[in-house]
Amino acid sequence: MAVTARDDVIRAPSATALETTFLGPAKLEHGARVHHSAIGRYFSLGEHSSVLRSSVGPFCSIGAHVAVNPFTHPLNWLAMHEFQYHAFSFAHVEEYRALERLPRSAAPAKRLAIGADVWIGHNAIVLSHVGTGAAIGAGAVVTKPVPPYAIVAGNPARILRYRFSDEAIARLLRSAWWERPLEQLSGLPFDQVDKALEILEKQRGGVDLIGRPQASGPEEGGP
């Protein structure tokens, strides 16, 4: 169970984290699971939600009963049932324990990228990449990549609209505000995006971004 040890990661007693790196403060509610993932700072995961084999950016909020990159059953094997590869599901049955089976580890499975400042509503299922600033509606089933700052909902999820204009989205992505130390965001007019961006753009020349050389430009979040 390789997990980065941090005092600022709060886990409910029934929450689990396996083979995961936490890059900053995080909060895992009851029954939450984070396995084989890298998690950005100020991450919150709701009750009975799971994040598997994913890279998650900073400032992401995930509601209850959400599945991000759940383990799927093999459609091209003899059967779709886990008896072929999972040794422990019915370990109390002698003939099940004796079965010779194939290995099917999580290591080669597809990994997902979730950008910064993503919100995922209750009961959503995320099967594809999600760009920075995107909002995933409750109950959505995401089967295709979600662009940055898109609002999606439905099954399968479709784009309802974007949170901001194209120009504002480009400015937000250039600002990479989520990479700044939190104290450098203090006092911003958070509810006035244009004004906040003006301040960030004026400050940018003299600000060191977390984990990013000052001279390099930010990557656009998400796929």
Domain count for the chain = 2
- Whether residues 96 and 18 share a domain: the answer is no
pLDDT, residue 188, reads 95
Q: Both 64 and 79 in a single domain?
A: no
Q: Kindly name the residue from 36, 73, 81, 86 that is annotated as catalytic.
A: 73
Q: Around Cβ 63, how many Cβ atoms within 10 Å?
A: 19
Domain that holds residue 86: 73-105
Residues 81, 96: one domain? yes
Alpha-carbon dihedral sign for residues 130, 134, 139, 141: negative
Give every residue of the chain whose pLDDT is below 50, as ranges.
1, 107, 206-223
- State whether 77 and 116 are in the same domain: no
Residues 66 and 125 in one domain: yes
State the Cα angle at 76 between 73 and 78, rounded to 5°. 90
State yes or no: is 73 an active-site residue: yes
The predicted-structure confidence for 46-70, as pLDDT tens digits, reads as follows 999 999 999 999 999 999 999 999 9
Whether residue 25 is contained in a domain is answered as yes
- Average predicted confidence (pLDDT) for the chain: 89
* Residue 76 token pair: 């091209």
Residue-wise pLDDT for 90-117, tens only, equals 999 999 999 999 987 654 568 999 999 9
CA distances from 182 to 51, 86, 128, 188, 208 (A): 25, 43, 29, 11, 12
Same domain, yes or no: 36 and 90: no
Same domain, residue pair 101 and 116: no
Is 27 inside any structural domain? yes
CATH number of the domain where residue 143 is located: 2.160.10.10
15 within some domain: yes
Query: Based on the domain organization, do 45 and 118 belong to the same domain?
Result: yes
